[in-house]
Each structure stands twice: as C-alpha cells, then as structure tokens.
Amino acid sequence: MTHGANPARMHEISDETTAIVDLVLAYSRERLLATENPLDKPLPPAELARLAGRTISEHGIGARKALSTFEHVLAPSCITTDDPQYLSFIPSAPTKASAAFDVVVSASALYGGSWLEGAGAVHAENEVLRWLAGEFGLPATAGGVFVQGGTLGNLSALVAAREAARERGVRPDRWRIVCSVEAHSSIASAARVMDVEIVSVPSGDDGMLRGTAVRDALSTHGDSVFAVVATAGSTNFGIVDDIASIAEVTAEFGVWLHVDGAYGLAAMLSPLARHRFAGVESADSLVVDPHKWLFAPFDACALIYRNPEQGKRAHTQHAEYLDTLTETGDWSPSDYAVHLTRRPRGLPLWFSLATYGAAAYRDAITASLELAQRIADEIDERDEFTLVRRPQLSAVVFERNGWQKSDYSVWSSRLLDQQHAFVTPSSHRGRTNARFAILNPRTTLEHLTAILDTM
C-alpha cells in the first residue's frame, strides 16, 4: 500500500466524492434535458487515441478531466441512438422517465438475481412481465425474466425447449430447430452455441413463414426437432410470420413454439397491428426487447415462458453457496435464463410505465406505424424510387432507381458526415437498398421526406 494511502478513499462520503457525484449528475441532467443532442459519428482509431490521450495512470487524472474527456472526445465519437434521424438497424428511443430512472438503478446498488437480495426490484419487474404476458394473450401464470438482449433471450428459451424435450424422453442423434430463412441471426448463433442444427424453411413470396412449410419440416425430421421459431417482426422488413397456422402445427406435433418478437412484438400493443400477431397466445416462450419499441434504455429483453417452471428446471444453477437461494420457493430471476449475476434491468421500463401509463405507449407505437405507411405512400408516388415491399410494421425498405451499392454507400456516408441522418444501406436478395427503421416518436414525415430529397 502506498504510504499514507486511505484504502476507503473511493467509497467514503467526502468532499472529493461529493464533487464527483455533482459533476456526473449535472452532466446527466444536461444531457437528458437537451433539446438538440448532436447525432455525432465515430472517429478513426488513431484519431480517437490521439484526442483522448492516456487516461489510465497510477494516480488518476481526476474526475473533472475524465468527464471532460468523455464529454468532448469519447461521447461525440458515439452515434446518438435516440436521435429522431437515427433510422438504421433498430433504433433506441428511451423515454425521459426510463433514462432518468436508469441513473437511480445504478445509484441504488441493487442486485436483481434473487428474491432474497432484491425482492422489491424483482416484484416490480415481474409486474411488467405479467402485464406484457397479458397483452400477448398468455395465461396469468406465465412469467420470466429480463435479460441483456434478444440473442440471450432466444438462446435461453431454446435451451429450455430442448430440456423440455429431454424430459419427455426424446433422445435423437441430432437436435434440430426449425425456423424461417428470414429468422434473425441470433437463432443461428444460439444453434452454434448449443451445437444443434438449423432447418431453414423457405418463406412465402411475402416473407412470411406458414404452418404448411413447418409441417413439411416436422414430418421430415421428426422428434429431432425440439423447437420451432416464429418471427414476430423481422429485422429487415418487419414481417410477422403466420403464427396462428404455425401454432396449430406445433400443437399437433407436440413441439415447443418460440416467438422471436425482439423488435416487432411490441406493435401488438397498437390496435393498428394487433391482428397481425394472432397465435402468439399459443407460444411456449417469447421475447420482446424493451430497448427497442418499448422505449427503455439499453439493455433489456423480456423473456417470457408460458410455464416458467420449464425455464427454471433448465437454468437453475446448483452450488453449495447457492443452496440458501435454490432450496426456497422464492422467485429468483437468475433461475430463468443463461445467467446468474444480473442488474434489475427491467426497472427503468417499470418506472416509465408506472409514470406515463400503458395508453401513452400504445399511442407512441401507433404513431410509428402510421408514419411508416405515410412515408411508404410518399416513396410510391416518387418516380425515382421503388418501394420493395409494403411495410407491415415500421420498417420501410426502398430502392433509388438506377443506384448501385457504391451509390448507397457514398450517400449514407455523406448523410452522417453532414450530421443530417444515420441511414445505412441494406440489401434483399442480392440487391442493395435503403431502409427506414421508424421507432422514435420524435421522427416526423418532414425528417423522412428531407432524407429522400438528398437522394
């Protein structure tokens, strides 16, 4: 130990720590309440290293200099995902209440892995999960856990599905998952982790997977299939599979039905889109990401099981030091996914829902659905564009007639360089295109038409 050092210095309430907290909270308040945060853009590694300089040293650079480096160098090199003109991938648009409460979660030193240590937090998270389950038509006994994201949620659900098949005595030479060729890449990732095979089933011309194609796959592969994955809103086009017909087939064959609704399932809260999700109520498990269309901060995926006991049997970890948790009947979130340590990442969504009410969420989601239709109409009316497919949800894919891949890339880079918008090129069946992912309630028709004008 350094001579004269105070080992508790970083944890004590002192003038130094008070000043640090005041600095951080002041910055957070200013950022949360700023009316125009910059879109920003990444810097090349060498340039970023030059500007940031060395920040980690034996004796530190102090909070004020560290925060200044973040504010003026590091943060501007990160694209602002809740900017209304961030229209790539799947944006994030946390409510002000949820973003502010994320600070509270961090400040409160909460642990969300067990009922013993975090009963209040777990109770609030479970209230949100029960509300979501009810919206999706699952029984009152359904439940689950908030995990990091859709990839971990899908993996955890599929592990539970395979365990359920094993409990029925199924022992194939090779386990298989049936899904659409349009399924999210996380399904293939889960299959690699689990060392199982993916059976990719062709979708229709409209991109939807249907029960007839699933029936053919199940008839071919028999008991080796332990799960069928239906997509409730594909990432590229926002397409919802024909879940009702798939559910009929999985019920007939006795196969677990998992619904990947990471992006799109939240649209079920809107009366405009609810009809598209018929059959979700039959799912054995499902996921939806609050950090997407439920306006929560990164990172949160709601994983819900029809029968939570199946998730618990698949995932509960056993060790002598954990016996005090696992030998009780308490609801411990760590038992329901591939994790143990966890923060109560569902609390920002709980606070926002409790603050604003569910109707505000329905209105915000409905507005995005309506805007997607309006900009699709605008694209259809412009001779220089071709709408690739009419949007089901809020992903609008279109082509600029005559453009090649290089044209889209140059245009996209120029948009970001000029801080106009963040719209990355996409592709479908070998053809490059542009795509608007519309989730942010602050995105307007004027924003979108102005982007079209740049093409």
Per cent of the chain over pLDDT 90 is 95
Encoded tokens for 265: 């399932």
Contact between 238 and 264 under an 8 Å Cβ cutoff? The reply is yes
Residue 365 CA to residue 161 CA, distance in Å, equals 31
What is the rounded average pLDDT of the residues 224-245? 97
214 residue type, one letter? V
Q: How confident is the model at residue 1 (pLDDT cuts 50, 70, 90)?
A: confident
Tokens for 305, please give them. Answer: 């099981």
pLDDT over 90 (residue 318): no
- Please write down the long-range contacts of 61-67, taking CB distance under 8 Å and 24 or more positions apart: 63/19, 63/20, 63/23, 63/24, 64/23, 67/23, 67/24, 67/27
pLDDT-derived band of residue 325, with 50, 70 and 90 as boundaries? Answer: low
CB 268 within 8 A of CB 135: yes
Per-residue pLDDT averaged across 299-328, rounded?
86
Average pLDDT, rounded, for the chain: 96
Q: Are 265 and 126 in contact (CB under 8 A)?
A: no
Residue 158, helix vs strand vs coil: helix
Return the pLDDT at 445. Answer: 98
Mean pLDDT of 312-326: 77
Rounded to an integer, the average pLDDT of 431-435 is 97
pLDDT of residue 324: 65
Quote the pTM value. Answer: 0.96
User: Which amino acid, 150?
Assistant: G
